[in-house]
Amino acid sequence: VDVWEVFSYAWPDDLGEPFRGQRVHVPFGPGNRDEHGFVVEPEGTRPKGIELKPVSKAVDREPQIGSGVFKLAEWISDYYMTPLGMVLQACVPSPAGKHADRKEAVVYLEEDGEGARNRIGPRQKAILDELFEARLQGIEPVALGMLLRKSGAQRASFNSLVSRGLVRTEMRDVKIQPLDRGRGVVDAPFELNPEQQAVLGEINQKVDLGTYSATLLHGVTGSGKTEVYVRAIRRINGKGRGVILLAPEIALATQTFKRLLSRLGRVAVLHSGLSPTERAYYWEQIRRGNADVVVGPRSAIFAPVPNLGLIVIDEEHESSYKQGTVPRYHGRDVAVKRASLEDVPILLGTATPSMESINNARSGRYGLLELPHRVRGLPMPSLKIVHLRREMQSGKVELLGRTLTSKMAAALDRNEQVILLMNRRGYASYVFCPSCKWMLECRHCSMPMVWHRSLTLATCHHCGNTAELPDYCPACEGRILLFGYGIQRIEDELFRKFPNATFARMDSDTMTSPVQFKKVIDDFGDGNIDILLGTQMVAKGLDFPNVSLVGVVSADTCLSINDFRASERTFQLIVQVAGRAGRDRTPGEVIVQTLYGDDPAIRHAATHDYRGFAEMELRDRRETGLPPFSRMARFVIRHSRMEKAEEAAETFTAELRRHLPPDRVTVIGPQQAELPRIKDRFRFHVMLICPVPGLIQQCLLPHLPEIQRSVPADIVTDIDPLDLM
């Protein structure tokens, strides 16, 4: 609904007084269809010569967001060049269902529902797609009500899926954690070390000052950042003010939420995985000022905390803070904006600061605090780079090289635990015909599909489309091969090499629900599992005392991507996963397998040399004029026909050029995007690079709606893009 304009309506007296941000229903368009909208100007001027329609209904009776969040939404609308209505929709959750049931139906995707998958209707397909998406995000099961709303399907289509055995329902208690439960605040079981105390002292000064300041807390993995947050939060709570704590994703937010429950007073969570009832409950409690802390992923930055005193962003560097759909905002940057609008301090914590943040710290825009050592004098894990090429026995493909294998054996002998990390990309299995080189590709995206043994289906990672495994190659009728070093290959190797060890796999295929996630985490924590094998998921925030060895099966997969942040991401991934090792008495060891051991990102990670890496990377970025020394904007032009897309991209770019000063804005493209076709749409893109923050928006914002309308294709606008594919 790309409606940029603001429309005037008559306000019937019986609706009370209108206020900014109020949700309303209005008749819209020739058929007067019912649309929802937000009051933007309660005292708007009446446009002349137009008969006003009356607002039909007011949804809110009290403001759901404060003026700070409303201003924030306006800023997002301008900065990210997104219509204000869409921004407000992202800020304010849709109103809760009327009935606050004690129980609700939740839906699971059935594991072995192979058959019957063909010949299902589009509505049923939509339901399955939603469920599959939820599984990939690890938020399965999904509340039935939410599922039907999101897929736009009727109950009948759903029932049909149940009778085909493709999905399964269960009744679940609506589990709302009452806010006042944790009233008795538990004291910390231990004292802060001098380093932590010094850092906390600095933070407390800013907290006591109570005005805007941004502080980057660079603390190595295991340096006790969370404990520092907790103390700072308590202090601000003691002044009767609330805190927002952002975590990169739902799973981590949930984990942090539980951790805080035992240490702080009234803790609330907010995220899209909650049932409407739960979400409404927390929202309402927060709005009334009953929450001391709100924990959540990026969207929690819009929480209506009435007397905000501090914002904390954990794992500031994480790219999941950037939203992939409109409005495409960066949670960290929006948080900094909110802090400055509401004049409160903000704390950004990480072991591997993003280039943006470290640059801000160096230029003095942010303060910088450091925790260079682990707590309790624990040493950093030792890191060893292993060149896979040298380790490979002739002709035989081994994923776990000689060194890693023997280190694993030794660790297991000592009854210590092991974490193995592999990147999803590059470790997928493809469906392949060796004789004619045919490969199973998604019909809609022209990208190879990935075979999942557990689902007995091939899926497309871009659109979620699924396909059955063909018996024979459709091109030459030859034999089909599953090709690639899938996770299963590693599992097979583990079976062969460590027949007595127990291991668990943790990736989006096996972690279908928070319950399963918790179970694996608990089992591993209790020592029932020796080896934890996982994707990025295992790199983040886990804390197991008995892990002495971490193996990075291949560090290269994120280097090969054509993206100027590849180096930064590789460095972060290695340092973060290495941080899982040696968190208690057993010293940690990390083996990084690579084909390109000379890569500077890997070398710096091996010596825990953040400074050296940042120095080098910033120099590169400065020389090439890339962020953080410039700002980028990216536009993707999409059309179902290739020529149309290309043509539209050309005219769109020409229009952009007319409004941009050529000496200050570099225009790259248009060119075909890295992923040339997704969901049946061909993609071209243009990139703008400009050293002056905000200049691109200033030049384009007045003209963009008009330009977009004049181009017969979909245009996606992405400011400060992280994804350049």
Partner DNA sequence: AGCACGCCGACT
Partner DNA sequence: GTCGGCGTGCTC
Query: Which window, 44-52, 60-68, 342-350, 519-527, contacts DNA (CB under 7 A)?
Result: 44-52
Shortest separation between residue 50's beta carbon and DNA, angstroms: 5
Minimum separation from the CB atom of position 11 to DNA (A): 11
Residue found by looking up tokens 């890693």 in the block:
404
In the complex, least distance from residue 390 CB atom to DNA, rounded to whole angstroms: 54
Chosen residue from 14, 17, 31, 191 binding DNA by CB under 7 A: 31
Task: Decide if residue 635 touches DNA (CB under 7 A).
Answer: no
Told to check if 156 binds DNA by CB under 7 A, we report: no
The answer to the question of residue 9 lying near DNA (CB under 7 A) is yes
30 binds DNA (CB under 7 A): yes
Q: How far apart are CA 381 and CA 469, in angstroms?
A: 43
Residue type, 667: V
Which of residues 33 and 183 has its CB atom nearest to DNA in the complex? Answer: 33
**Residues in Cβ contact with 509 at an 8 Å cutoff, skipping those fewer than 6 apart:** 135, 452, 454, 455
Interacting stretch for DNA, rule CB under 7 A, among 3-11, 332-340, 438-446, 693-701? 3-11
Tell me whether residue 685 is exposed, middle or buried, using C-beta atoms within 10 angstroms of its C-beta: 0 to 12, 13 to 18, 19 or more: buried
Q: Binding DNA by CB under 7 A: which of 7, 485, 596, 629?
A: 7
- In angstroms, the Cα distances linking 228 to 192, 313, 314 are 8, 13, 11
User: If binding is defined by CB under 7 A, does position 703 make contact with DNA?
Assistant: no
Instruction: Report the residue from 50, 180, 189, 396 that binds DNA according to the rule CB under 7 A.
Output: 50
CA distance 661 to 722: 24
Looking at beta carbons only, is 427 or 684 nearer to DNA?
A: 684
Segment contacting DNA (CB under 7 A): 51-59, 63-71, 130-138, 597-605? 51-59
Contact letters (x/-) for DNA, 528-567, by CB under 7 A?
----------------------------------------
Pairing relationship of beta strands 450-452 and 589-594 according to DSSP bridges: unpaired
Sequence-distant (6+) residues with CB within 8 A of 471 are 480
Q: Check binding of 51 to DNA (CB under 7 A).
A: yes
For DNA, the binding residue among 1, 13, 394, 598 (CB under 7 A) is 1
Crossing angle between the packed helical segments 122-136 and 155-163, to the nearest 10 degrees: 80
Please report, for residues 293, 340, 635, 688, 697, the alpha-carbon distance to residue 692 in angstroms, rounded to integers and kept in the order given. Answer: 36, 20, 18, 12, 10
Minimum gap (Å) between residue 466 Cβ and DNA: 25
Cβ closer to DNA: 44 or 484?
A: 44
Options 19, 28, 212, 430; binder of DNA; rule CB under 7 A:
28
Minimal distance, residue 90 CB to DNA, in Å: 16
Bridge partner list, 481: 432
Cβ atoms within 10 Å of 182's Cβ, excluding its own: 18
Sequence letter at residue 389: R
- Burial class of 56 by CB neighbour count within 10 A (0 to 12, 13 to 18, 19+): middle
Is residue 165 part of the contact set for DNA (CB under 7 A)? no
**Binding string, 658-697, against DNA, x = CB under 7 A?**
----------------------------------------
User: Which one, 37 or 331, has the nearer CB to DNA?
Assistant: 37
CA dihedral sign of residues 531, 537, 539, 544: negative
Among 17, 33, 98, 184, binds DNA (CB under 7 A): 33
Position 43 contacts DNA (CB under 7 A) = no
Closest by CA position to 350, among listed 314, 303, 380, 378 = 314
Which residue in 8, 154, 415, 698 binds DNA (CB under 7 A)? 8
CB of 23 to DNA, least distance (A): 17
* Shortest Cβ 44–DNA spacing (Å): 9
**Minimum CB distance to DNA smaller for 1 or for 397:** 1
How far apart are alpha carbons 681 and 640 in whole angstroms? 4
| Residue 94 touching DNA (CB under 7 A) | no
Spatial distance between the Cα atoms of 546 and 525, rounded to a whole number of angstroms: 8
Chosen residue from 20, 53, 402, 461 binding DNA by CB under 7 A: 53
Q: Map residue 261 onto helix, strand or coil.
A: helix
Do 541 and 527 form a contact (C-beta atoms < 8 A)?
no
When asked if residue 52 is in the footprint of DNA (CB under 7 A), the reply is yes
Q: Does 3 bind DNA (CB under 7 A)?
A: yes
The stretch near DNA (CB under 7 A) out of 26-34, 113-121, 455-463, 569-577 is 26-34
Min. distance of Cβ 59 from DNA in angstroms?
A: 18
Residue 75, amino acid: W
Min separation Cβ 39 and DNA, Å = 14
| Residue 47 interacts with DNA (CB under 7 A): yes or no | yes
Q: Which residues 6+ apart lie within 8 Å of 258 measured at CB?
A: none
Contact stretch for DNA (CB under 7 A) within 31-39, 87-95, 487-495, 630-638: 31-39
Query: Which residue lies nearer to DNA by CB, 29 or 662?
Result: 29
Number of residues lying near DNA (CB under 7 A): 21
Place of tokens 């694996």: 520
**Nearer CB in complex with DNA: 455/716:** 716
Is 36 or 125 the residue whose CB approaches DNA more closely?
36
Binding window for DNA (CB under 7 A); candidates: 7-15, 61-69, 427-435, 574-582: 7-15
Under the criterion CB under 7 A, does residue 29 sit at the interface with DNA? Answer: yes
Name every residue whose Cβ is closer than 8 Å to that of residue 323 and which is 6 or more positions away in sequence: 90, 298, 329, 330, 331
Residue 279: is it exposed, middle or buried by C-beta count within 10 angstroms (0-12/13-18/19+)? buried
**What span, in angstroms and rounded, lies between the C-alpha atoms of 240 and 222?**
30
**Which residue in 18, 27, 514, 669 binds DNA (CB under 7 A)?**
27
- Per rule CB under 7 A, is residue 108 in the interface with DNA? no
Nearer to DNA, 27 or 289 (CB): 27
Q: How far, in whole angstroms, is CA 497 from its chain's centroid?
A: 35
Contact window for DNA (CB under 7 A) among 50-58, 129-137, 327-335, 628-636: 50-58
Using CA atoms, how far residue 14 sits from 22, 57, 181, 332, in Å, is: 15, 10, 40, 41
Based on its alpha-carbon atoms, the radius of gyration of the chain, rounded to whole angstroms, reads 26
Token pair listed for 406:
């023997």
Q: Which of these ranges, 49-57, 385-393, 522-530, 630-638, lies near DNA under the rule CB under 7 A?
A: 49-57
Query: Do 552 and 593 contact (CB within 8 A), yes or no?
Result: yes
| Chain positions contacting DNA, by CB under 7 A | 1-3, 5, 7-9, 27-33, 47, 50-53, 709, 712
